[in-house]
Chain A
Amino acid sequence: AQTVTQSQPEMSVQEAETVTLSCTYDTSESDYYLFWYKQPPSRQMILVIRQEAYKQQNATENRFSVNFQKAAKSFSLKISDSQLGDAAMYFCAYRSANFGNEKLTFGTGTRLTIIP
């Protein structure tokens, strides 16, 4: 079974600064997808960024980028130029690439606070 670990329950960052959230995972599969989801206080989960395991290039989405280290099974999220709207719970998630498997395995989350 796959597991996802987020070792930072809480993080804080000054507005406009950069913060990195950590995530490690364990799997015996070679092909899979990794995601970072954001859950603001309104509680709707929103996809921040995704990474396909077969792609070596790290994914980026505007101010959000990942550092994907497949051998180390590490998938960290970097948020640049932090904004107040970035305050939320961030969940790292794993999904198998096997057809028909839509199940997401989530980490325990990191609560990010933005300090004005």
Chain B
Amino acid sequence: KAGVTQTPRYLIKTRGQQVTLSCSPISGHRSVSWYQQTPGQGLQFLFEYFSETQRNKGNFPGRFSGRQFSNSRSEMNVSTLELGDSALYLCASSSGTGAAGELFFGEGSRLTVL
């Protein structure tokens, strides 16, 4: 069974640009969550999508957005990039049905903003 796949693995952008990150969950999983990991703030929850609907949202500005497609693949977008957006962005998938199911993480997308 294929794991959670995130693309791209690395990317470099400049301030003011926008970026789109992609996450393909494990087959059959309907929930996709996104986390930002930085040395200063640690792991912070961005949002979670379930069956194409945003079900939970963290405390991030509106520049951070996401969506989920009918095949459960998810994208997150960051517009008007700031230096502080440099981070490892992790995606996690799960069944999303409420049991204490394991969240499976991808290897992350390392974003550097110059």
A interface residue numbers (CB < 8 A to B): 33, 37, 42-47, 50, 52, 91, 95, 97, 99-109
- What is the size, in residues, of chain B's interface with A at 8 Å between Cβ atoms? 24
> 13 other contacts beyond A46-B105, A103-B56, with CB at 8 A cut-off?
A44-B105, A45-B92, A45-B105, A47-B103, A50-B100, A50-B102, A52-B100, A102-B56, A102-B96, A103-B58, A104-B35, A107-B42, A109-B43
Chain A nearest CB, measured from B97 CB (Å): 8
Using a Cβ cutoff of 8 Å, how many contacts connect chains A and B? 57
Chain B nearest CB, measured from A33 CB (Å): 5
Known contacts A43-B108, A44-B105, A45-B105; A106 and B100 CB within 8 A of each other? no
Chain B nearest CB, measured from A111 CB (Å): 12
Known contacts A97-B100, A102-B94, A103-B56; A108 and B105 CB within 8 A of each other? no
Residues 32-54 of chain B: 1 if any A CB is under 8 Å from the residue's CB, otherwise 0?
Answer: 01010000001101001010000
B interface residue numbers (CB < 8 A to A): 31, 33, 35, 42-43, 45, 48, 50, 55-56, 58, 88, 90, 92, 94, 96, 98, 100, 102-103, 105-108
